[in-house]
Amino acid sequence: MAILEIKHVSKLFGGLAANSDVSFEMTEGMIMGLIGPNGAGKTTLFNCITGYYPPTKGEVIFEGRKMNGLQPDAVCKLGMARTWQKVRPLAKMTVVDNVMVGALCRTNSIKVAREMAMEQIRVVRLEHRANFLAGGLPIGERKKLEVARVLATNPKLLLLDEVMGGLNPAESEEIIQLILDIKQKGKITQMVIEHDMKAIMRISDRIVVLNSGEKLAEGEPKDIVSNPEVITAYLGSE
């Protein structure tokens, strides 16, 4: 069974179709890359999937259950968690407290939440920063904090929105390894928005290409990079 089914999803902002009749499925354990030019509708699709916006049309089905109309906190409890393209940690709280906010979606116990948070802080290798204020972290560490926070919600489906954006090559490599490690553990399915084509080629099992809100192509990475329409709309300009 598909873990996630996107069926004819459209999202209109006034006259602008940020998503237009987008359909695809994800199977459990896979990594789906989501690519396309700026303004293609990638972040909007994450917003529609995770309950931040209701889709104007179409359905989002997670583990066989229709998600339309559910609020983000309910979506998170059901097992979907997303990062934000513009990372906004709770700046005046420590790293561990930020990650505990994620864990508190699963437990009411502060003690348990702290343990869960520390576990994920170790996964992203931010132990040395656990008691630092989040607002003081450089961008590379903020991105890791963002990943730790969503992992602490114990998701089945993780949606990562440009977690490598603004990072240097060494930091990007750490994130790539983290994504591959998460996949190898086999419990979490991932959808990854990324502009770095080399990175997306390495990590994705399949790729969906959006352009002007529409799905332009879907396939294995090797087929996507040689697809003439994708080259014209996106890759040719890289």
Write out the residues near Mg ion by the rule CB under 5 A: 42-43, 85
Q: Which residues pair with 6 in a beta bridge?
A: 24, 60
Among 33, 36, 51, 58, binds ligand ATP (CB under 6 A): 36
85 scored as a contact of ligand ATP (CB under 6 A): yes
From ligand ATP, Mg ion, none, which one binds at residue 91 (CB under 5 to 8 Å depending on kind)? none
Nearest approach in angstroms of CB 74 to Mg ion is 23
Q: Which is nearer to Mg ion, 23 or 85 (CB)?
A: 85
Q: Which is nearer to Mg ion, 141 or 162 (CB)?
A: 162
- Dist CA 101 CA 149 (whole Å): 7
42 binds ligand ATP (CB under 6 A): yes
| Binding residue for ligand ATP, selected from 7, 29, 39, 68, defined by CB under 6 A | 39
**219 touches which of ligand ATP, Mg ion, none (CB within 5 to 8 A by kind)?**
none
Q: Answer whether 147's CB lies under 8 Å from 160's CB.
A: yes
Which residues make up the interface to ligand ATP (CB under 6 A)? 13, 16, 18, 36, 38-44, 85
